Structure 1
Amino acid sequence: LPEVMEQIFIPFFTTRKNGSGIGLSLSRQIIQNHGGRLEVSSVPGKTRFILSF
């Protein structure tokens, strides 16, 4: 869903009942601190996370 994709890196955003919403936000921050990028692309049934350094 496009509206979810826009929010997945926002701290504490989650679509899961028991999720904390911190994982992707923290991962992106750590990667950026090391000079990298964390990006996402998605089509129905398939989501891809791309780490670039």
Structure 2
Amino acid sequence: MDEQIMERIFIPFFSTKKSGSGIGLSLCKQIMLLHKGNIQVQSTPEKGTSFRLQFPAS
């Protein structure tokens, strides 16, 4: 995914799909923040994308 899309994927209602609602990643981000965690994305165009979820130490 390119840089411009990566900057927007956690914004509510943003989607690159015609039938997408754009709430999935936004909801994931909010859930992680409510639990004092974090979600990060790393992507290389034409190769793949990975998400890293960081949870607080208990």
Considering the TM-score relative to the shorter chain, is it more than 0.5?
Answer: yes
What is the RMSD computed on CA atoms of the aligned residues?
A: 0.6
What are the superposed Cα offsets for residues 12-51 of structure 1, whole Å, 9 maximum, x if unpaired?
0000010000000001100110010000000022101000
Look up the match of 2:39.
38
- Unpaired segments ≥5 residues, structure 1: none
- TM-score by length of structure 2 reads 0.87
Q: Select the structure of larger CA radius of gyration.
A: 2
Higher RCO, 1 vs 2 (CA within 8 Å, ≥6 residues apart): 2
- TM-score by length of structure 1 reads 0.95
Task: In structure 2, give the amino acid aligned to 1:35.
Answer: K
